[in-house]
Amino acid sequence: MSSPTDALQRLRLVHEDAVLTTLRASGALSRGQLTERTGLSRSTLFAIISDLMDRGAVIETDAVPAEPRGRGRPAALVSLNPAAGLLLGLDLGRGRVRLAVANAAHQVVATASASLPEDAAPLEEAEAAIRLAREVAAERGIGLGALEAVGLGLVGVVDETTAPAPLDLPGIPRTLPACYLPVARRVAEEFGVRVAVDNNARLAALAEATWGVGRSVRDMVYVRWSVGVGGGFIVAGRLLRGAHGAGGEIGHVSLDPGGEPCHCGSRGCLEGGIGGQGLLRACAARGIRLSGLDALVAAAQDRVPAVCEVIVSAAADLGRVLAGTVAQLDPALIVVGGELAGLGSLVLDPIRDAIARLALPRSPREIAVAQADLGVNASAMGAIALLVHEEPSIPAHLRPSAP
């Protein structure tokens, strides 16, 4: 059960969102206009505006309102401050870096992506991410001098509890696995701001819970089905990382302890069977050779029988793993993202069936299974959500204040 303080904080955030949404839709408005359009009381509205101004999310101008006011000094106008408190989200995935930029009002103002070599070294990935950020800033007229923090989404277990050594740069987590240090260090050096790091599938879960299909629930399981298989758990509205940074690693549940070795050190992992390469191998065994994951998805969309059979069987395997997760976590919602999720009912129906049959079938409850909303930019947006909601080291004026 949430505390009264939590309830007040959520109410304040709802009111704040109403003000920001009204300003996005209407442009600069007086406080009186905002009071009328949001339905908030004068005292509540003024308190929220004061807080947003302190955080740099909105600014005040002396411009004359559109409607005449008669005698006296024109009312000051309040508007979003698009130039202040920029947040940068970067997703360094397998073969691609994606970017999202948000302003101090937490409004995403730019997204972009660029390819990465499959065998790119960490510093190559960092340089590609920096280059993309600089190019987008130049093209869109975004001043990176207003950058406050960077969120990084990286592949694999991000464990902040077993560091090889602390870094001498402010803002980078004091503990981070050695493989991630070059990327975080280079980004921090380039931009001179704080850097927060997490697994990119977990960040996609956080994005869906913040802006996507999961925004109305507080308990959610997210799985990204793509070249690999990853996930994230939202429990009581918070991202669950686990004691060792491995929370949400759905792809590394072993279905066959005597199966093929996995890069995680185990055998017969779900990812090896239903990840991109596993699906391509299964299709090849049926005489259908495809060039990659995009070609496989296209063949399934064309309803090539053998390809559809492979995908339905893989979705049933995923459903069985998710059924165990549902029995343990009791979420309100399962969200499926990644390229395979775009196949809709072909993959969602076998998952629903497995959960209904295997996850406490006599329990009087319904677990919804839905396709993700945010598409390929989810992890980059989740890196921004990490900065807004999760990372305690970012400047106070960018964090929602207590009521």
Q: Could you read off the pLDDT of 248-261 as tens digits, one per residue? A: 899 999 999 999 99
Residues 235-250 have pLDDT tens digits of: 998 899 888 778 889 9
Q: Give the Cα-Cα-Cα angle 310, 370, 379 (nearest 5 degrees).
A: 90
Query: Which is more confident, 27 or 217?
Result: 217
Cβ density class 109-118: b for 16+ within 10 Å, e for less: ebbbbeebee
Mean pLDDT of the chain, nearest integer = 83
- Is the predicted pLDDT of residue 24 greater than 70, yes or no? no
Contact 221, 231 (CB under 8 A): yes
Fold of 214-372: Nucleotidyltransferase; domain 5 (3.30.420)
Decide: 248 and 155 in contact? Cβ < 8 Å: no
Q: Domain 4-80 is in which class?
A: mainly alpha
pLDDT 10s digits, 83-129: 667 899 999 987 889 999 988 767 788 999 999 887 888 889 999 99
163 pLDDT exceeds 60? no
Find, among 155, 183, 158, the residue nearest to 169 by Cα.
Answer: 183
User: Of residues 67 and 224, which shows the higher confidence score?
Assistant: 224
Domains 86-203+378-398 and 214-372 share a fold: yes
Is the pLDDT score of 13 beyond 90?
Answer: no
Q: Which of 400, 399, 388 is nearest to 203 (CA)?
A: 388
Domain ranges of the chain: 4-80, 86-203+378-398, 214-372
Q: What is the arithmetic mean of pLDDT over 54-69?
A: 65
pTM: 0.76
Q: Exposed/middle/buried for 375, CB within 10 Å: 0-12, 13-18, 19+?
A: middle
Count of helix runs (H) and strand runs (E) in the chain: 12, 13
Tell me the CATH number for domain 86-203+378-398: 3.30.420.40
Tokens 């401050």 found at? 81
- List alpha helices for 192-343, DSSP H: 200-210, 270-274, 276-285, 293-301, 305-329
* 161-175, 297-311, 344-358: range with lowest mean pLDDT: 161-175
C-alpha R_g of the chain:
23
